[in-house]
Amino acid sequence: MRRRSDEMSSQFEVVHRQVLYRSPILLTPYTDPDTIDTDSLAAFVKRSYEDASIAPQDVDTGAVICTGEAVRKHNSAAIIRMLAEQGGHFVCATAGPNLEAILGAHGSGAAARSQIHHGVGLNVDIGGGTTKLALVENGAVIETMAVNVGARLIAWNSEGRVIRTEAAGCAVARDCGYDIAVGDIITEEQKRAIAELLAQILFETLERKAYSPLTESFIISGALTYAGAIAEISFSGGVSEYIYEADKDDYGDLGPLLGAAVRRRIPMLQMPLAGSLERIRATVIGASQYTIQLSSSTVYISKDGLLPQLDLQVVPAYLPKDPTALTVSTVTEAIMRGFARLDITPEDIGRPIALALLGPVIPNHQSIKALSSGIRQALEPLSNHPWVIILSADVAGLVGFMLKEEEKVPQDVVVVDGIHVGEFNFVDLGRIIDSVEAIPVVVKSLVFEG
């Protein structure tokens, strides 16, 4: 990391990344259809650290991302907490399909390539339970979609006996004329028919035309509204290993057959097929590139022990675009409008929040005083939790000092800047990294359940 040198800023930017160790791939273990196996996961993480010759206490920051079908299991929140604690100074997130699409697009290299070919690219991340589509342009994801197509909607053991099913897998099987349940023997004919129908559902979404009733029922979020030309298509996720013919092993699921069915249909799209920098690991690589942000080094923490702060709902407040218009009243009004948009008030908040003040601030005493006084007046009823404040202007240290020393705010205060947040976000703030005096932050998108 280095401080940005092109302007007067204490914000950090990442200039180099290097992968030191890649663990083996572990299929998510379950003790029953709705419960993730905590002990197996914990043992895997412990073994991976040992194999990498890295101690958890030597890790400054990281992220645990729970995705796909695993998100829907009843103990997923407890699992990611356990992994975050075991992994070191980690923060954690549950990635909804839109965020997962973004991570896959960055990790696969599709987002970076879109800066070169100057057109709109499409990355298709096909995992165990869901497929995430991301349209990318000029290095950014401009639109996402998710559909219930994946390799492990039905899984079986070495004898061909079904050991797990998901609702979407059973629905596809029924449409093929099969009634498949745990304990049944699944035939090669059934596997192939189910894989072909899943590929057909996926390609209806990729063609961006009218959907059949079955495909419509499989859409999680979307559909894509962009109707223009697509410069290239790429694939990531576990099934992409078969699409690019990088893996031929059978893991007791639809992966090989689904990958082959997708590969045969690609010419129908008339989109050039691009390679992928990462396939099955694209989401986790994308998480390291996209999810974790680092605050500037001018953070303010009123006392030790306030971090980490997890699952803070972001309340965006938009300051006047003209920084000379910053007054106590304009700040207070902006904050109250932010609460009103979320249908909450500072008086009735039952959970921790992060107030994000977005807009320019002149770094002089008059502006900082107006900002701090406005924050104090608006947040005064909020006494059950520390005040966590995110600024887009590079003045976190000044605002924190003003709140505690001049405004005499009794609550504990954490103020950070250099973090990009917006509507419908939640954030996790990790422990401060002493070497750079900055805070790792995971920004999470709100997950809308269908």
State pLDDT tens for residues 303-342: 999 998 887 889 999 999 999 999 999 999 999 999 988 8
Order across the sheet with 131-137: list the strands. Answer: 219-221, 140-147, 131-137, 121-126, 232-236
Instruction: Verify that 88 and 102 share a domain, yes or no.
Output: no
Instruction: Verify that 82 and 112 share a domain, yes or no.
Output: no
- Among 94, 123, 138, residue at a domain's last position: 94
Instruction: Verify that 192 and 274 share a domain, yes or no.
Output: yes
Instruction: Verify that 146 and 48 share a domain, yes or no.
Output: no
3-state secondary structure of 136: strand
Residue 290 lies in a domain: no
Number of compact structural domains in the chain = 3
**pLDDT value, residue 380:** 94
Instruction: Verify that 49 and 124 share a domain, yes or no.
Output: no
Angle at 321 between CA 320 and CA 324, to 5 degrees: 70
Residue 288 lies in a domain: no
**pLDDT value, residue 450:** 28
Spatial separation of the C-alpha atoms in residues 146 and 220, rounded to whole Å: 5
Given the structure tokens 């709109």, which residue do they identify?
120
Residues in the chain, pLDDT under 70: 1-15, 61-62, 68-69, 71-72, 84, 86-96, 287-292, 424, 445-450
Instruction: Verify that 151 and 274 share a domain, yes or no.
Output: yes
**pLDDT value, residue 448:** 32
CATH number, position 209? 3.30.420.40
Instruction: Verify that 139 and 172 share a domain, yes or no.
Output: yes
Q: Note whether 207 and 223 are within 8 A (CB).
A: no
Instruction: Verify that 395 and 250 share a domain, yes or no.
Output: no
**pLDDT value, residue 245:** 96
Residue 404 lies in a domain: yes
Instruction: Verify that 255 and 140 share a domain, yes or no.
Output: yes
Instruction: Verify that 104 and 57 share a domain, yes or no.
Output: no
Residue 222 lies in a domain: yes
| Cα–Cα distance list, 427 to 131, 309, 363 (Å) | 25, 8, 26
**pLDDT value, residue 379:** 96
Residue 32 lies in a domain: yes
| Cα–Cα distance list, 23 to 46, 199, 281, 355 (Å) | 11, 29, 10, 38
Residue 74 lies in a domain: yes
Spatial separation of the C-alpha atoms in residues 391 and 448, rounded to whole Å: 26
- Among 254, 281, 308, residue at a domain's last position: 281
- Domain with 263 in it: 98-281
Instruction: Verify that 132 and 113 share a domain, yes or no.
Output: yes
Residue 442: what are its φ and ψ, rounded to 5°? -105, 125
Instruction: Verify that 129 and 15 share a domain, yes or no.
Output: no
Residue 218: enclosing H or E segment and its boundaries? helix 213-218
Spatial separation of the C-alpha atoms in residues 357 and 317, rounded to whole Å: 5
Residue 289 lies in a domain: no
**pLDDT value, residue 297:** 74
Please state the pTM of the whole predicted model.
Answer: 0.70
- Among 94, 122, 151, residue at a domain's last position: 94
Residue 158 lies in a domain: yes
Q: Which residues contact 49 (CB under 8 A, 6 or more apart)?
A: 55, 56
pLDDT in tens, 342-369: 878 888 777 789 999 999 999 999 999 9
